[in-house]
Amino acid sequence: MWLRTAALALALCACASLSRAAASTAETIYYIGEASTTGADGSVDRHTYLIARTSDPSAGTIAERAVTFTRGAYAEDSSVIKVDGNRISMTTATGIEGTGELTGKPWEWTFLRLEFDIPRAGMKIVDYNFLAEYRTSIHGHKDFIRGGKLVSQEDVVLHAVDQATYEAKRMELLHK
């Protein structure tokens, strides 16, 4: 009897260990979609938008590489989100910082809200991401505010793709 109990205990410990190992493994999901930017004058621009998002629960981080249309050309930027419970802080490679909150079960969140203050540009950005189906799609909305007035909005719809599809589109947009 004690052998069966010991074997069961060992099996449960092994399963728990595998479960923790699986939960701590970093996962990258690749997305391709479109950003629709609406200016204060009502003008609308549409451009391709790419994100490679790596979630690493064991490190408490979410790293992103984004290819977006900025200042007349596609460019790539990266950022790291540090997760502390449901509070987050984000820093981009260009030094822009923001803070916010996540809603939902840890590492299976359904909603993200970030605010960025960019004093050198006199701008504030409020970013909302709807993550309920984050393994297949993400929907986002950003408000760009200057002097207390909304100057533009960006709506993004992204769908998960395989890495090869993502990399091919990335190379095409960045002319590499």
Look at the domain 26-174 and name its fold. Answer: Lipocalin (2.40.128)
What distances in angstroms separate CA 85 from CA 62, 115, 135, 140, one per listed residue?
13, 17, 21, 22
The mean pLDDT of the chain is 86
Whether 3 shows a pLDDT value over 60: the answer reads no
The confidence score (pLDDT) of residue 19 equals 35
Per residue in 132-176, pLDDT (tens digit) is 888 899 999 999 999 999 999 999 999 999 999 999 999 999 997
| Domain ranges within the chain, ordered by starting residue | 26-174
In the chain, % helix, strand, coil (3-state, to 5) comes to 20, 60, 20
Model confidence band, residue 25 (pLDDT cutoffs 50, 70, 90): confident
Distances (CA, A) of 39 to 2, 43, 45: 72, 5, 8
Question: Over 80: is that where the pLDDT of 99 sits?
Answer: yes
Reported as a pLDDT band with limits 50, 70 and 90, residue 95 is confident
- What pLDDT is recorded for position 60? 96
Confidence at residue 6, expressed as pLDDT on a 0 to 100 scale: 29
Confidence of residue 79 (pLDDT cuts 50, 70, 90): very high
